[in-house]
Chains A and B, each alone.
Chain A
Amino acid sequence: MDELTFAARAANGNILRGIVTLPEQAGERRRGLLILGAGVNPRYAWHRFSVKMARLAAKRGFHALRMDPQGVGDSDGVIEDIDPTALEAFHEAVQTGLFVNDCRAGLTQFIAEYSLDEVAVAGLCGGALTGLFLAASEPRISTLAFIAGPVHLSLLDAALPFQPAFERSETALYLGKLSDPRAWWRLLSGQSDYRRIFFLMKIWIYRFFGREHKLLDSVKTIRTAVAIDEYKQADMWAMSDNSRHLNPYVPQAFIAFMERGGDVLFINAEMDQATWGFRNYFAPTYLDGSRNYRGTYDVVEIKKANHIFSSQEAQEQVMALFDNWLINACKSRRCAC
């Protein structure tokens, strides 16, 4: 396996660094895969997910780049104007396009340096959003793997007693306490976490009546989005398609990519708040079959998987899906590298 270090210049002159895994056998067309890691974590991602994807892609004949945007991993620069103690603010900044320009600079260098004919993008979590935003405006990208990407804004999750995606484990926890006299004593003596209990009951009720997508409508969050210029559209925040908590840049980018004929594979984890948001805020409106997209999409949910697909079974399933996606990626065409 041959791997080389990679460097590109961001718009402000800072160096963006990464690793390129060279294909074991290059095909007639030179294909590239850009892998974008999760948020503010180093490019190799959770349990070396990006490394495994890169090496699998190399076996399939791709040049695979995993890179760090500015202020992350090995790249130069700092992430400014965000309170370093507030991780949610960082997440929201990524979710509103913080790293798009850096990844575009990396993509441009990648294509030029390796003379690529076509490029696919795979993104994890925040990297999935960056990849989607990039794909929407980049004719050089034809296909995207959107893995565990959150379609709602992280500040929402911070306002909740627990994430609704974990309702099953919360229910199991409280059911387990039914036979515990100490738990009953705490409940009756004002020592329990009532906010948590009432929220759990609220989830049951909303779910029973098929209104789970309305569960959080009354939750207010203060947005502190730090978005790059081209995404600073005040009107976006006024959009209220299906839910006020949906990140409006997501449907905007998705529709643009679909209109261009792009293909998207959504890979979600069952036990993940990102998936809960996807199911309740995004899929019912944009993936309900009512829109005639030029491009195609596929949605797969991995059962008993958490946000980082840490179990052996989940990793194997994701890698199998990813491998299949690679085999079919860039097969048509509509790339304009």
Chain B
Amino acid sequence: MSTEPQLNEQFFFFPSGCLDLYASIHEPAGMKCETGVVLCGPFVTEAFKVYRILFNLCRYVAKRGYQVLRFDYGGTGDSSGLFEEANVATYTQNVVDAVELVNRYGAKKVVILACRLGAVWSLLAASNPSVTRLDRIVLWDPVLDLKAYLYNQLRGNLSEQTIYYGKVIENRDRLVERILSGETVNVAGYPITRTFFEQACQLSLFKYSVSLKANISLVLRDDVGSTRTSALVESLRSFDPSFHVGRVRRVPAEFDWEISKGYMTNPVRVFDTMVEAIAAE
């Protein structure tokens, strides 16, 4: 009968810019880990839904011999700061600081596990000269087009209009006009600001591709079709010319990033694939 190792865990705040980010670190007790893993979580609306899954994932990976750091971006979760003051630069800096924290802990190899929109911040951070060591980025159901993603998130505002008025009063294009005119538009209670949206519109991830230091892995749900998969593979080849569809791992769609269908907290088959992706050479 195998027994899982005990964990050492710490819950703390660490500085990033002028903010204090809430974080936890999980590692097997009595063991020096060679590899440090930084979990870069999804956007706020998704992070709320899958919080416990990602927490359990950190423990699961740690029990398999890794030091895992998980944190809340500035202005989100339990970190300091205001959501409306977070932007592309601050999210990226948060990831850089998290990676450097793991580097200071003495990891010989550093891997980012980037979920959903965490992919954007991770790819930007990986191109940042302040990062002293980063070996691999595992992209899990990545979002690479920030502008399209935010536009999609505005559906939440449309749903709320339907509750109040029985119909949509302002469609998404109208909401975007309002954002770009300087008003904030709420999505699930979070204010989307002009600064953030304009940065999203202007961001061209691929101009950072030449300076990327890390290898890339891709993990996708098994219900992501071949067209989308091919598009993602093609996009990622801009970062890593050797990337190909054979390096895509699949996980069962045991939970949804956006909708709570139940209280799923331990999708073990998904967790096993993440461990494989982290461990891959």
B165: chain A residues within 8 A (beta carbon): 169, 172
Contact of A311 among B83, B186, B263 (CB under 8 A): B186
Q: How many Å lie between the Cα of A162 and that of B51 in the bound state?
A: 28
A254: CB under 8 A from chain B? no
B55, B80, B189 interface centre (most CB from chain A within 10 Å): B189
Alpha-carbon distance between A309 and B190 when the two chains are bound, in angstroms: 11
Q: Do residues A44 and B166 form an inter-chain contact, with CB atoms below 8 A?
A: no
Q: Beyond the given A44-B77, A87-B262, A166-B163, could you list 16 further A-B residue pairs with CB under 8 A, ordered by the A residue number? A: A3-B13, A5-B12, A42-B51, A43-B78, A44-B78, A46-B189, A47-B190, A74-B55, A79-B263, A169-B163, A170-B166, A172-B167, A175-B166, A306-B164, A311-B186, A312-B191
The reply to whether the CB of A115 lies closer than 8 angstroms to some CB of chain B is: no
Instruction: Pull 27 A–B residue pairs with CB atoms less than 8 Å apart, ordered by A.
Output: A5-B12, A5-B13, A19-B78, A42-B48, A42-B52, A46-B188, A47-B44, A47-B190, A48-B76, A48-B77, A71-B265, A74-B24, A78-B265, A79-B263, A84-B262, A84-B265, A85-B262, A87-B262, A169-B163, A169-B164, A169-B165, A172-B166, A176-B166, A176-B167, A310-B160, A310-B189, A312-B184
Complex formed: what's the CA distance from A289 to B232 in Å? 63
Check: A178 CB closer than 8 A to any chain B CB.
no
Alpha-carbon distance A170/B77, docked complex (angstroms): 34
Expressed in whole angstroms, the minimum distance between the Cβ of A302 and any Cβ of chain B is: 12
Complex Cα spacing A25 to B265, Å: 40
CB within 8 Å of B: which of A153-194? 166, 168-173, 175-176
Docked complex Cα distance between A48 and B261 (Å): 22
Q: Which residues of A are at the interface with B, using a C-beta cutoff of 8 A? A: 1, 3, 5, 7, 17, 19, 40-44, 46-49, 51, 71-74, 78-79, 82-87, 90, 166, 168-173, 175-176, 271, 304, 306, 308-312, 315
Cα A175 to Cα B165 with chains together (Å): 12
Residues of B within 8 A of A47 (CB): 44, 83, 188-190
Complex Cα distance, B51 from A72, in Å, reads: 9
A49 to B191, CA, bound (A): 13
> Which chain B residue shows the least CB distance to A42?
B51
B264 at the interface (CB under 8 A from A): yes
Contacts known (A48-B76, A172-B167); A40 close to B48, Cβ less than 8 A: no
- A3: chain B residues at CB < 8 Å are 13, 20, 78, 80
Separation of A51 and B24 alpha carbons in the complex (Å): 18
Q: What 10 pairs across the A-B complex have the smallest Cβ distances?
A: A172-B166, A47-B189, A310-B189, A85-B262, A169-B166, A42-B51, A5-B11, A173-B166, A84-B263, A84-B262
Q: Contacts A3-B13, A169-B164 known; A87 to B55 CB distance under 8 Å?
A: no
> Which residues of A have CB within 8 Å of B77?
42, 44, 48
Specify the chain B residue showing the minimal Cβ separation from A17.
B11
Chain B: minimal CB distance from A317 (Å) = 13
Question: How far is the CB of A49 from the nearest CB of chain B, in Å?
Answer: 8
Please, how many angstroms separate the alpha-carbon atoms of A85 and B160 in the complex? 26
Interface of A is mostly: mixed
Q: Name the A residues within 8 Å of B163 (CB-CB).
A: 166, 169, 271, 306
Cβ contact within 8 Å between B184 and A271: no
Cα–Cα, bound, A168→B166 (Å): 7
Q: A44 — which chain B residues lie within 8 A by C-beta?
A: 77-78
Most buried by B among A72, A74, A308: A74
- Residue from B12, B51, B167 whose CB has the most chain A CB atoms within 10 Å: B51
CB of B160 within 8 A of CB of A311, answer yes
| Most A C-beta atoms less than 10 A away, residue of B20, B52, B188, B263 | B263
Which residue of the partner chain B has the closest CB to A43? B78
Check: B199 CB closer than 8 A to any chain A CB: no
The complex places the Cα of A48 from the Cα of B47 at a distance, in Å, of 12
Contact of B186 among A5, A71, A172, A312 (CB under 8 A): A312
The interface residues of chain B lying within 8 Å CB-to-CB of A42 are 48, 51-52, 77
Task: State whether A169 and B162 are in contact (beta carbons under 8 Å apart), knowing that A19-B78, A87-B260, A312-B184 are contacts in the complex.
Answer: yes
Which residues from chain A contact B51 at a C-beta distance below 8 Å? 41-42, 73
CB-CB < 8 A to B20: which residues of A?
A: 3
Question: How far is A78 from B164 in the complex, measured between Cα atoms in Å?
Answer: 37
Contact at A90–B263, with CB atoms within 8 Å? yes
Q: What residues on B are CB-neighbors of A51 within 8 Å?
A: 78
With A84-B264, A87-B261 as known contacts, state yes or no: A310 contacts B188, CB within 8 Å.
yes
Instruction: State A1–B262 Cα separation when bound (angstroms).
Output: 36
Q: Which residue of B has the minimal Cβ distance to A55?
A: B80
Distance in Å from the Cβ of A269 to the closest Cβ of chain B? Answer: 10
How distant is the Cα of A207 from the Cα of B80 in the complex, in angstroms? 47
